[in-house]
Amino acid sequence: MPSSGESSEALALSREAWSKSNEADEGAGTYLVESLLAAEKYDEFTIFAKKFREKFPNSMAAVYYNAVALANTGEYNAAEAELDRLTEMGAPPESTTAVRTAMNEARDAEFFGLGRYRTIGYVIAGLILLWAVGLLVLFVGGRTLSAKTLKAIETSDPNDIAGAEHSSLKKLYRRIISIAGFYYYISQPFVILLVIAIAGGIILGFLWVGTIPIKLVGIIGFVAVGTVFYMIKSLFTRLKPEDPGRVLTETEAPGLWQLTRDVASMVGTRPVNEIRITQGTDLAVYERGNFRAKMADKAERILILGTAVLNGFDLNAFRAVLAHEYGHFSNRDTAGGDIAFRVNIDILRTADAMLNAGTATFYNFGFQFLRLFHFIFRRITLGASRLQEVLADRVAAYFFGSEAFKNGLDHVIRSEIEFNHIANKEISAALGASRPLQNLYEMTVQEDAAVEAIDEQFSSAIDRDTTDDDSHPSPRDRYRFIERIRTANVETLSGDVWSLFADPSAIKAEMNTLIEGLVRGRRGTNEDSILHLG
């Protein structure tokens, strides 16, 4: 290896030779570029190598040293191209091996040793970008579909109780909801990858600057590991939905069972197979069975009936509300929904697990994804739900009258407000005095101030605007949508719903005892409640 003095002397001679040749001698150029490299004059070497390559484009030496200069400045792709050009010019492949090896080692050293995976990184980044665009498309599609649904409801014939005008829209909703549900599950690998990448990037950033805050790194690692664990767990854990309340036998309410059959016959659909009584103000339907049974319309039909909604419930109004529920069956609303239910449950369970573990933080990308996707998914599914409710309202109004249905929905809404007031007040008083609960189902609101407050709350619930977060249109809008429906002639019934029961007092006492047990066990008074009128 030449000494420093020898390298300096060789450089001076090569510069002189290049100058005397008027920069036209390829050999002198080769001698100079080699001397610059030997003397470690790297900046000058880079400049001259480019000039030499331009001066002698067909020189193997010029191409070779230009490749070395490009590699030195980190322009690896351009350097690779020059080496490939050199091979095309006839240079043996082994002549470029050393430069290629040096470039690979340099790439490995970049980005904490991840340089060789840059291409893979680009692919992953592209996939993540495509995934993010998919989320945006779902959001825009959901908003657009909701707007289209609202317009369709406003302009369609309200006497189309079968919803023939909306069949294509309902099919589109089912398809979009299925796509969105599938998209949630294929999003899991992307979210897990990003959580790991973000946490790893932060920790590597600390290593780069040379300072490692142990506590902060521990928190970041805990949040990342916890998030990945709960997201993977949600993919492999399935909860079987439990039926609310208990079965109400036909012996206990023979008149009610007969009324459910009569209404089903009038609407033209199968009657319910089971009635379940609960302690709240529930009034809802669902189907029990596998996907194939639901699609074949062979699943069991269940009616949920809350004890607290029955006091003073006029039979004509109740019958109209029951027709609304049968409208869901006849329109096949309850046949689907499994995907929407499963996705919602998975999101809420995963978010709840993160919350309990202390990882539901603003800087947790996984938790923020759950919030974002739940927001997007609600926009899609709730638009479909509002359409279903409007079509079911039409069934109720057509067979039993708009006024009867309005009275029924008013009763359900007011019953919930009044029962919550009565229950909260009595439970607080009973716990404070260490005494048993009075029968909540026999109590009424007595104080003028309380009655006034309930009236105000009821009016607000009726007259409010429909929002994007509503599963049902506001009552005011629902009443407006059924105003022009031609009602079929039907006989008027007398009495209230309790008249259909063999022993109302026994049911009330049983449900009151159930609530007392829940209260003493420090559990919610509406634990088994699911959906209200819908």
pLDDT in tens, 411-455: 999 999 999 999 999 999 999 999 999 999 999 998 889 999 999
Cα–Cα distances (Å) from 490 to 46, 108, 265, 517, in that order, read 96, 82, 13, 43
R_g (Cα) of the chain, nearest Å: 37
Q: Per the domain annotation, does 26 fall within a domain?
A: yes
Cα–Cα distances (Å) from 493 to 164, 262, 327, 485, in that order, read 31, 13, 21, 21
Q: Per the domain annotation, does 52 fall within a domain?
A: yes
d(CA 322, CA 243): 19
Number of Cβ within a 10 Å radius of residue 229: 15
d(CA 289, CA 274): 13
Residue 208 has a pLDDT of 75
Run of H or E residues at 170: helix 167-209
Q: Which residue type does 208 have?
A: W
In terms of pTM, does the model score above 0.85?
A: no
Q: Which residue type does 427 have?
A: I
Boundaries of domain holding 78? 4-113
Q: Per the domain annotation, does 162 fall within a domain?
A: no
Give Cβ neighbours of residue 506 (< 8 Å, ≥ 6 apart): none
301 pairs with which residues across the strands? 287
Residue 117 has a pLDDT of 54
Q: Per the domain annotation, does 73 fall within a domain?
A: yes
Residue 264 has a pLDDT of 95
Q: Per the domain annotation, does 372 fall within a domain?
A: no
Residue 278 has a pLDDT of 96
Residue 314 has a pLDDT of 96
Q: Which residue type does 331 have?
A: N
User: What is the greatest pairwise CA distance in the chain?
Assistant: 121
Number of Cβ within a 10 Å radius of residue 499: 12
Q: Per the domain annotation, does 34 fall within a domain?
A: yes
Q: In what order do the strands lie in the sheet with 274-278?
A: 246-247, 274-278, 300-306, 283-288
The helix/strand/coil state of 306 is strand
pLDDT digits 0-9 by tens, 173-217: 888 888 998 999 999 888 988 888 888 888 877 777 777 778 877
d(CA 160, CA 180): 29
d(CA 465, CA 104): 64
Name the nearest CA neighbour of 525 among 517, 533, 515.
515
Tens of each residue's pLDDT in the chain, 534 residues: 566 776 777 778 888 788 888 778 888 878 888 888 788 888 888 888 888 888 888 888 888 888 888 888 888 888 888 888 888 888 888 888 888 888 777 766 655 445 555 667 677 788 889 999 999 999 898 888 888 888 888 888 888 777 777 778 888 888 888 899 899 999 988 898 888 888 888 887 777 777 777 887 788 888 888 888 888 888 777 767 788 999 999 999 999 999 999 999 999 999 999 999 999 999 999 998 887 888 888 889 999 999 999 999 999 999 999 999 999 998 888 766 677 888 888 888 888 888 888 888 888 888 999 999 999 998 888 888 888 999 999 999 999 999 999 999 999 999 999 999 999 999 999 999 999 999 999 999 988 899 999 999 999 999 999 888 888 999 999 999 998 888 777 888 999 999 999 999 999 999 999 999 988 875 433 333 333 344
Q: Which two tokens stand for residue 510?
A: 């049983």
Residue 145 has a pLDDT of 85
d(CA 283, CA 276): 10
* DSSP-derived secondary structure for 314-326: BHHHHHHHHHHHH
Spacing of C-alpha 42 from chain mean position: 55
Q: Per the domain annotation, does 47 fall within a domain?
A: yes
Return the exposure string of 41-69: e unless at least 16 CB atoms fall within 10 Å of the residue's CB, then b. eeeebbebbeebbeebeebbbbbbbbbbb
d(CA 425, CA 419): 10
Total domains in the chain come to 1
Residue 364 has φ and ψ, to the nearest 5°, of -90, 110
Residue 267 has a pLDDT of 93
Run of H or E residues at 284: strand 283-288
d(CA 138, CA 187): 13
Residue 118 has a pLDDT of 61
Residue owning tokens 């062979």? 298
Spacing of C-alpha 74 from chain mean position: 43
Q: Per the domain annotation, does 380 fall within a domain?
A: no
304 pairs with which residues across the strands? 276, 284
CB 271 within 8 A of CB 261: yes
Residue 21 has a pLDDT of 81
Cα–Cα distances (Å) from 363 to 125, 185, 303, in that order, read 21, 22, 44
CATH number at residue 70: 1.25.40.10
